[in-house]
């Protein structure tokens, strides 16, 4: 940042803004939550970071709270589609994708027509012979476990496993401005009647003993893309209960959400509501902070 930018940024950090930041801290808000709120209100990246460093961090340190680590995490880059200017359509390289909606906090972007009907059917056909009861990450050990909260059947493609998978991964990278090598393999899941995935976070809990093992390769997860391959007749929405948001599982559409720090302040608690009638298929792509 040059001297002119520093001066302009400092001018935006008004006494009123400083008082508001301190009031949030005294009300018990964590640094990450304050940063997210400022971003959602339209403050620029420079202003939010500098304001926290100069005001919130100093205040919290005076209270014996270590704010620096959370601020550093909340300021790191995350996948983000280019929605500047509120476009109706986005360029995904080999395909135009509709922009159906955005939410600032939690950061959610909903896409229409991300996959064609033919791509949905092809992914299902390639995945079906390999489906097994879905496991969840065990953050105690860094392994996997059966969990009653998740009652789907699933499988993983290796990255670039087939021309179809490679094409979809390139589309994701182009749309979300995140390199292919920073993504896990695509997971395909099938949910029958009554199947669900109860609300959870996709990042790995920093306090859990198995997280160091889970993040050895690629670091933390920082974003999730859920692609809908087939829609049930009723139920099966992707829900964000803390934000009161529900995304219908329409075939070919997708929902993306990001989380710049592994913290509940991102408000990315989410789940797959029970399928009430029919069958739901999805493909999930988790994005990491580094090469995976």
Same domain, residue pair 220 and 243: yes
What's the CATH number where 113 sits? 2.60.120.620
- Asked, for residue 83, whether it belongs to a domain, the answer is no
CA 8 → CA 43, 47, 110, distances in Å? Answer: 13, 9, 34
Same domain, residue pair 230 and 279: yes
Same domain, residue pair 275 and 149: yes
Domain count of the chain?
2
Greater confidence, 256 or 18? 256
Same domain, residue pair 51 and 163: no
- Asked, for residue 39, whether it belongs to a domain, the answer is yes
Q: What is the DSSP letter of 150?
A: B
Same domain, residue pair 189 and 214: yes
Same domain, residue pair 19 and 150: no
Same domain, residue pair 47 and 131: no
249 touches 280 (CB < 8 A)? yes
Q: What percent of the chain has pLDDT over 70?
A: 81
Greater confidence, 25 or 220? 220
Neighbouring CB atoms inside 10 A of 58's CB total 12
Mean pLDDT across 82-89: 94
Question: Residue 271 pairs with which residues in a beta bridge?
Answer: 239
174 touches 91 (CB < 8 A)? yes
Runs of H (alpha helix) within 194-282: 211-214
48 touches 38 (CB < 8 A)? yes
Q: Render pLDDT for 126-155 as a digit per residue (tens, 0 to 9).
A: 999 999 977 666 667 766 656 676 778 899
- Asked, for residue 79, whether it belongs to a domain, the answer is no
Q: How confident is the model at residue 273 (pLDDT cuts 50, 70, 90)?
A: very high
Same domain, residue pair 271 and 230: yes
Residue that is last in its domain, among 74, 104, 120: 74
So what's the pLDDT on residue 71? 58
Q: What is the DSSP letter of 182?
A: G
How many angstroms separate the CA atoms of 23 and 15, rounded? 12
Residues in the chain: 292
For 149, residues 6+ apart whose C-beta sits below 8 A from its C-beta are 136, 197, 198, 200
So what's the pLDDT on residue 4? 33
Host domain of residue 100: 89-288
Is the pLDDT reported for residue 64 higher than 60?
A: no
Specify the residue for token string 């580094």: 290
Q: Render pLDDT for 155-167 as a digit per residue (tens, 0 to 9).
A: 999 999 999 999 9
Same domain, residue pair 68 and 102: no
Greater confidence, 211 or 265? 211
Mean pLDDT lowest for which of 5-9, 49-53, 118-122, 233-237?
5-9
- Asked, for residue 227, whether it belongs to a domain, the answer is yes
Greater confidence, 240 or 209? 240
Same domain, residue pair 64 and 114: no
So what's the pLDDT on residue 6? 38
How many angstroms separate the CA atoms of 190 and 110, rounded? 21
So what's the pLDDT on residue 74? 64
Closest CA to 78 of 205, 256, 258: 258
- Asked, for residue 81, whether it belongs to a domain, the answer is no
180 touches 218 (CB < 8 A)? no
276 touches 235 (CB < 8 A)? yes
Q: Render pLDDT for 93-110 as a digit per residue (tens, 0 to 9).
A: 999 999 999 998 899 999
How many angstroms separate the CA atoms of 214 and 87, rounded? 37
Q: Which two tokens stand for residue 249?
A: 């599982």
**Average pLDDT taken over every residue of the chain:** 86
- Asked, for residue 248, whether it belongs to a domain, the answer is yes
Question: Residue 288 pairs with which residues in a beta bridge?
Answer: 221
Same domain, residue pair 208 and 249: yes
Mean pLDDT across 53-63: 64
Mean pLDDT across 2-7: 35
104 touches 181 (CB < 8 A)? no
Q: Render pLDDT for 176-233 as a digit per residue (tens, 0 to 9).
A: 999 999 999 999 999 999 999 999 999 999 889 999 999 999 999 999 999 999 999 9
Closest CA to 13 of 59, 50, 57: 50
For 170, residues 6+ apart whose C-beta sits below 8 A from its C-beta are 93, 94, 180
- Quick check: helix, strand or coil at residue 221? strand
Residue that is last in its domain, among 74, 103, 130: 74
Residue that is last in its domain, among 27, 45, 74: 74
């Amino acid at each position: 940042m040059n001297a002119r930018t520093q001066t302009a940024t400092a001018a935006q950090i008004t006494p009123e803004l400083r008082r508001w930041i301190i009031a949030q801290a005294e009300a018990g808000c964590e640094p990450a939550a304050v940063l997210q709120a400022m971003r959602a209100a339209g403050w620029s990246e420079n202003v939010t970071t500098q304001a926290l460093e100069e005001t919130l961090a100093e205040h919290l340190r005076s209270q014996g709270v270590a704010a620096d680590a959370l601020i550093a995490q909340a300021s790191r880059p995350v996948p983000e589609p280019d929605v500047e200017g509120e476009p109706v359509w986005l360029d995904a390289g080999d395909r135009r994708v509709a922009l159906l909606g955005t939410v600032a906090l939690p950061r959610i972007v909903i896409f229409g027509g991300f996959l064609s009907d033919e791509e949905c059917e092809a992914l299902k056909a390639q995945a079906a012979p390999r489906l097994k009861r879905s496991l969840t990450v065990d953050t105690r050990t860094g392994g996997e476990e059966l969990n009653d909260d998740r009652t789907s059947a699933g499988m993983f493609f290796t990255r670039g496993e087939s021309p179809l998978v490679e094409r979809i991964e390139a589309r994701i990278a182009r749309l979300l401005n995140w390199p292919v090598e920073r993504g896990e393999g695509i997971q395909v899941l099938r949910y029958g009647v009554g199947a669900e995935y109860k609300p959870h976070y996709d990042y790995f809990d920093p306090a859990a003993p198995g997280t160091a093992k889970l993040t050895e390769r690629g670091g933390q997860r920082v974003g999730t893309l859920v692609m809908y391959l087939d829609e049930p007749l009723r139920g099966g929405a992707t829900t964000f209960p803390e934000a009161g948001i529900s995304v219908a599982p329409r075939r070919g559409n997708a929902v993306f959400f990001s989380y710049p720090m592994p913290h509940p302040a991102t408000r990315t608690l989410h789940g797959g509501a029970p399928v009430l009638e029919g069958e739901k298929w999805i493909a999930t792509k988790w994005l990491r902070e580094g090469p995976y």
